[in-house]
């Protein structure tokens, strides 16, 4: 009787540890999948930015904070980056169509706010470094 109870306890411990490991692995996978997508919307201005890039959020936390930049600097750099990026989208024979898939609709006269400009600017820096591109 005593050996039966001991075997049952050991069996429950092994079963319990196995279930815990699987749950932890599933949670870690879900977090990393969610963190690869960044979505910003503003209903009053009717715009939406979706950045789906593996590793972008992890890279972003290593960069200078939003307060480091002036909004005018971010807007000026984004105007240049967006113009060059869109030019490459339209010229798919010269540039890789897998990298330059879709034009970015960025209106120069619209105030998107500092957060949007900061994220867009950092996305272009990330894009340049990750794909060895010079915009």
Q: For 93-128, write each residue's pLDDT tens digit.
A: 999 999 999 999 888 888 888 999 999 999 999 999
Q: In the beta sheet, which residues pair with residue 38?
A: 51
CA distances from 60 to 24, 100, 121 (A): 25, 21, 11
Q: 112, 100 in Cβ contact below 8 A?
A: no
- H or E element at residue 83: helix 71-90
Q: What is the mean pLDDT of residues 51-56?
A: 88
Q: For 6-42, write each residue's pLDDT tens digit.
A: 454 554 445 444 444 444 444 333 333 445 777 777 7
pLDDT at 23: 40
Name every residue whose Cβ is closer than 8 Å to that of residue 122 and which is 6 or more positions away in sequence: 60, 63
């Amino acid at each position: 009787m005593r050996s039966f109870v001991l075997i049952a306890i050991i069996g429950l411990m092994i079963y319990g540890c196995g279930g815990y490991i699987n749950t932890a692995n599933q949670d870690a996978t879900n977090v990393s999948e969610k963190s690869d997508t960044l979505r910003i919307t503003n209903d009053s201005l009717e715009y939406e930015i979706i950045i789906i890039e593996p590793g972008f959020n992890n890279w972003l936390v290593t960069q200078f904070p939003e307060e480091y930049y002036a909004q005018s600097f971010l807007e000026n750099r984004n105007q240049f980056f967006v113009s060059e990026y869109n030019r490459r989208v339209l010229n798919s024979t010269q540039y890789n169509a897998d990298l330059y898939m879709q034009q970015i609709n960025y209106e120069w006269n619209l105030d998107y706010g500092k957060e949007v400009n900061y994220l867009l600017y950092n996305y272009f820096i990330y894009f340049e470094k990750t794909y060895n591109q010079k915009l």
